[in-house]
Structure 1
């Protein structure tokens, strides 16, 4: 008979059994990544993140399914925004927080959220989700949110009564390119020239780019990158979610899956872009620069990522949310999916109406964005 267990620390769960459920293209769901967040105290009850990880085991203790889960007292670090929901619910006299979140903290990257062992079936996913919903109901939270799920999971979540939400991000797809010029040849002439001009400007500024991974990344590299991260996060979000210890732990525990692009001028590190690598995908995560260099952001974050993906035969680069400027550089909009359980029936109906309208608006926006595609059409 399957058993469900809850853990308030990821290090209480066997790493090998957890990772056997993760898959090869989901580095953020690995035990090592989640544990680095907890061990560095970036994810901690004092910061509004109380882990509630659920694990489904068989009679022998083997993990059949598991999911990262957090009891939260705010909505920071999620990237699927529900601040307006919280405000409306509390204006009506309800208590929105705490809520449950099934997601990777601070990471707007799609992937499996209901993690299952390769030998398990869809029924194990359904059973885990049923336990997840029952857990939310039992502890009396206002809501449960599953962010950046895979589409098949998302459809199953709606079949079991959750509300579906759609967003979009920008991804680059590798159509078996042999090199960067091969990719450029797939673009219209005007877009191709614009990218070449941008790359040339970076070279002429005297900046050199280098890509490091594994033991090549030393602590002084992390020191420099952390300064960039602080600068960017301070301007974008007002406060950083990650601390310096996290980056050291990331290098130690997931170094071979870490791809750090650094920009140097006169041997001085002036900018950096951090990526993580899955089996098929390069995931762009953080970028920072202490000075203003023309086109360097595009080079470090987008063009270097494409170069790396082509050289390593990766299928895609995920550049994250926001920024129409990514389209002109070959990154096209793709849908992202989240699912939401709302305890209060009246509030659930209001959120459902909002989400149905939001889906229509988002899909219309994506259609318009696709018209900006830089790729050649049949008439070009």
Structure 2
């Protein structure tokens, strides 16, 4: 069966792609999300992300398996950091770019990567890895995989496993935020209460909106806040303004936005996506400085919503240790790497063995530092 390569997801009907995602698809994998990235110019063009989605269909045109795939000319926006590998190649005179990446751009969220039939997706992987040299590509990477993909890749010749650590909040059937607080040690419970009181004391209240409930002017505000988090670090934002409008048009039911207001005026926001299982915090921003506002807008409002919506978990993003004392628990993430150059592969394999030990020790130490009372974590 020939592999079809899609340079734009718009070349494929949304139903043919989405049928590979199962009955409760994660929002980041949906045709609506990935095509909005492309149609808004957030990927493609000069972004260094060129879509090369791989699709396998049967003789009757039914989609069997697919990979969300990109040809990369840099390593930005991936959140599995291989800059050191690229730098070592540069110093050794080895071309590291372009490379192939199976991932969701700018989204460090564990989810499906080998879509559809597992065996057929494995054949896709084998075909792509075997063709890297002919395509002038150094490597194939698959980031933030779920156990199904891990089972396909583990033990497959040439593939290297890398682990990382994120922090996610888990809902243990809490009735409300106070019920969650009651499970914390006294000192941490007081700290969280004090942080919430400090925000309220600044006259800030909050409003939650779904995607269809925001006007274009309010989306302008959301984007200004998002972009400001990059501008203050001297960086250009990954996403364009039109991405947010396209997403609100194509999958509004999956969008949750928290607006922080002071005196009736919006001053900060948190942008999240949701499915039937979890809440995913993606972007945050504020146009002014307010004490403790980040923790309330990004974490406590999300926990409140997850409890009210009976969601099992809240993934608030990639960054880390400040979440730990607020009840977010260490979670091991996985990525897989197929490197053509034998010397590079051997060096990276040795590095990953050492890194793995460090990550597991870090996760264990983080779990010991959780703020839950004995037996509640």
Normalization by structure 2: what TM-score? 0.96
**CA displacement, residues 2-57 of structure 1 (integer Å, 9 cap, x when unaligned):** 43211111101121010111232411111000100000111013221111100011
What is the CA-CA distance between 1:78 and the residue it aligns to?
0.7
| Match runs of 1:156-171 below 5 Å | 156-161=152-157, 162-171=159-168
Secondary structure at the residue paired with 2:331? strand
Distance 1:183 1:8 in 2: 46
Name whichever of 267-276 and 137-146 sits farther off: 137-146
Distance 2:360 2:317 in 1: 17
What is the CA-CA distance between 1:137 and the residue it aligns to?
4.0
Distance 2:154 2:171 in 1: 32
**CA displacement, residues 325-378 of structure 1 (integer Å, 9 cap, x when unaligned):** 101111111011100000011111011101111111111111111121011114
Corresponding residue for residue 365 of structure 1: 362
Corresponding residue for residue 3 of structure 1: 2
Corresponding residue for residue 239 of structure 1: 236
Aligned to 2:200, which of 200, 203, 208? Answer: 203
**CA displacement, residues 278-334 of structure 1 (integer Å, 9 cap, x when unaligned):** 120100001001111111111110111011111111110001222311011111110
Distance 2:44 2:234 in 1: 19
Distance 1:378 1:176 in 2: 15
Which stretches of structure 1, 4 residues or more, deviate above 4 A after TM superposition?
none
2:98–2:136 CA contact under 8 A, matched in 1 = no
1:36–1:250 CA contact under 8 A, matched in 2 = yes
Aligned to 1:347, which of 344, 347, 355? Answer: 344
Distance 2:136 2:311 in 1: 44
Are 1:273 and 2:277 an aligned pair?
no
Aligned to 2:140, which of 127, 138, 144? Answer: 144
1:180–1:310 CA contact under 8 A, matched in 2 = yes
Corresponding residue for residue 52 of structure 1: 52
Aligned to 2:125, which of 114, 125, 129? Answer: 129
Distance 1:25 1:175 in 2: 23
Corresponding residue for residue 115 of structure 1: 115
Secondary structure at the residue paired with 1:364? helix
Corresponding residue for residue 42 of structure 2: 42
Corresponding residue for residue 71 of structure 2: 71
Secondary structure at the residue paired with 2:132? helix
Corresponding residue for residue 86 of structure 1: 86
**CA displacement, residues 121-143 of structure 1 (integer Å, 9 cap, x when unaligned):** x3223222223323434313111
Distance 2:300 2:264 in 1: 21
Aligned to 1:192, which of 189, 193, 200? Answer: 189
Distance 2:234 2:335 in 1: 22
What is the CA-CA distance between 1:205 and the residue it aligns to?
1.0
Equivalenced residues, count: 375
Name whichever of 331-340 and 320-329 sits farther off: 320-329
Gaps of 5+ in 1: none
Name whichever of 244-253 and 124-133 sits farther off: 124-133
Aligned to 1:305, which of 278, 283, 302? Answer: 302
Secondary structure at the residue paired with 2:235? coil
Corresponding residue for residue 97 of structure 2: 97
Are 1:252 and 2:249 an aligned pair?
yes
